[in-house]
A and B are shown apart, each in its own frame.
Chain A
Amino acid sequence: MRGDDEFSEFATARQQAMYRQAYLLCGNADAAQDLVQATLLKLYRSWPRVVKADNLVAYGHKTMVRTYLDGQRRWRRERAWHARPDGAAASPSSDLRMTLLAALSELPPRARAVVVLRFWDDLSIDQTAEALGCSAGTVKAQSSRALAVLRERLGADFHVLHEN
């Protein structure tokens, strides 16, 4: 089928990049793989409409973050923005990569999605807002807040990370 061929071509080309995006959202490989699979399934099911999108990659971003956020809501992993006690902040780690992932995990899912879309996928504020279905102002506020939280959580580790 032509649609299947087009989808296969798109999915094959994009799946590893989607996996890395998912890894940043989920924080581990298994969950990231599940998220990619869920996203690709959604795209497949809507492919006749998806393929008409101006920007397939952007549509994929949008589908993935919404699938991620939907899964987060369903499984009640949402963390309260201020609920985590200070004592539970990420401690300095010899594994700097894990430190960053731990700091990311401190963020609520929406803020994490903003970070990944804005700073890893390089989407503009408007594009991020469109992907998340919220206003540009919300993205700016979440982005600023997320950066502040990451700065605080990473603390001295940030400088080590950056210098390395």
Chain B
Amino acid sequence: MSGTELRELLDRAVAPVDDMPDLVPRVLAAGRSSVRRRRAVTTGLGAVAGVVATVGVANVVWGPVVEWPSAGPAASPSPSSVSSSETPPPGADDPAFRAFKGRMAAALEDALPARLGVVRSAASAPGYTAASAQGTFPITFRLDPWGMAQPTRCPVEGQPSDSDAAVVSCLEQRLPNGQLASAFHELASGGTVLPRVETVIDGKWLQLYLFAYQESPRKVPSITDRQLISVLADRKVADLVQEWSAHPEWQIG
């Protein structure tokens, strides 16, 4: 079968398909709303620019999405981008959520290897919490109710990978709650190898990303896949994630 023949077949496959209804008015309405929400989200981030340069984990269609200017995960090649503006979103203003993020930062500090230093909370939108270890590398911890129903699996040789990025290392392990967790070191832009770990809690996709050091974009936090999984297995972190999961208003980006 040649390409030309295939083209003819594809044309014929869609020829009988009726036009769909006009989606533009619906998209405009949803888009305006999402842009307002995103501006509110990114505004809160601008207030902590000294701690975290850019944290925007928001994609209106699929839920929260973060995009880093230089060292973002290669697995998320979305054409969309985030710009900053001025007012924090209602959820980010919630004192209870702020307090929660502070407790989460403390729990992450205890659960991460001590050499990574102090973990401080950064302002962020509902749907994720951002933190920065000693202000040197950003951390993003996100709970996405619209995400995957199970964690990304480690690649199997000879089969297509769930990840677009080259996987340098991967480890799967059951957490104490019985859920599968998977930790990755993946090749990101610029040759940086970034660590992340993910699992699913109450049907929501939980992901923890550690990014490159801001002053040295090719240098990444030193942590193993096993240590990454141990962060999610940590009792305090797990309890806080359960608390997070019980607050939908903290999860909608």
| A interface residues, Cβ below 8 angstroms from B | 4, 7-8, 11-12, 15-16, 19-20, 23-24, 29, 32-33, 36-38, 40-42, 44-46, 49-50, 59, 62-63, 66-67, 69-71, 73-76, 78-83, 97, 100-101, 104, 108, 110, 115-116, 118-120, 122, 133, 147, 150-151, 154, 158, 161-162
Contacts and interface: CB of A to CB of B under 8 A. Distances in A.
Interface stretch (B9-17, B86-94, B170-178, B213-221): B9-17
A9 to B, nearest CB: 9
Contacts of B32: 4
A66 B9 CA distance: 24
A46 B80 contact: yes
B27 A37 contact: yes
A32 B14 CA distance: 12
A34 B13 CA distance: 19
Interface stretch (B43-51, B107-115, B116-124, B156-164): B156-164
Interface of B: 1, 3, 5-14, 16-17, 19-24, 26-28, 30-32, 34-35, 38, 59-62, 77-81, 146-150, 152, 158-160, 162-164, 205
A20 B10 CA distance: 10
A46 B9 contact: no
B17 A78 contact: no
29 contacts: A7-B28, A7-B31, A15-B22, A16-B19, A19-B20, A23-B14, A32-B20, A33-B20, A38-B61, A41-B30, A42-B78, A42-B79, A44-B27, A44-B28, A45-B34, A45-B60, A59-B79, A66-B79, A67-B61, A71-B62, A75-B148, A82-B159, A115-B6, A116-B10, A122-B7, A133-B164, A147-B3, A151-B1, A162-B1
B23 A11 contact: yes
B19 A74 contact: no
B154 to A, nearest CB: 14
A29 B17 contact: yes
Contacts of A50: 79
A159 to B, nearest CB: 10
Contact of B20 (A8, A15, A73): A15
Nearest to A97: B13
B63 to A, nearest CB: 9
Contacts of A15: 20, 22-24
B248 to A, nearest CB: 19
B79 A63 contact: yes
Interface of A is mostly: helix
B20 A16 contact: yes
Contacts of B20: 15-16, 19, 29, 32-33, 36
A11 B79 contact: no
A101 B77 CA distance: 27
Centre residue among B6, B38, B147 by max chain A CB count within 10 A: B6
Contacts of B19: 16, 19
Given A37-B23, A110-B160, A161-B9, 4 more contacts: A23-B14, A45-B38, A46-B81, A158-B9
Contacts of B59: 42
B28 A4 contact: yes
Contacts of B6: 115, 119, 147, 150
A40 B27 CA distance: 7
Centre residue among B3, B24, B147 by max chain A CB count within 10 A: B24
Contact of B3 (A11, A59, A108, A119): A119
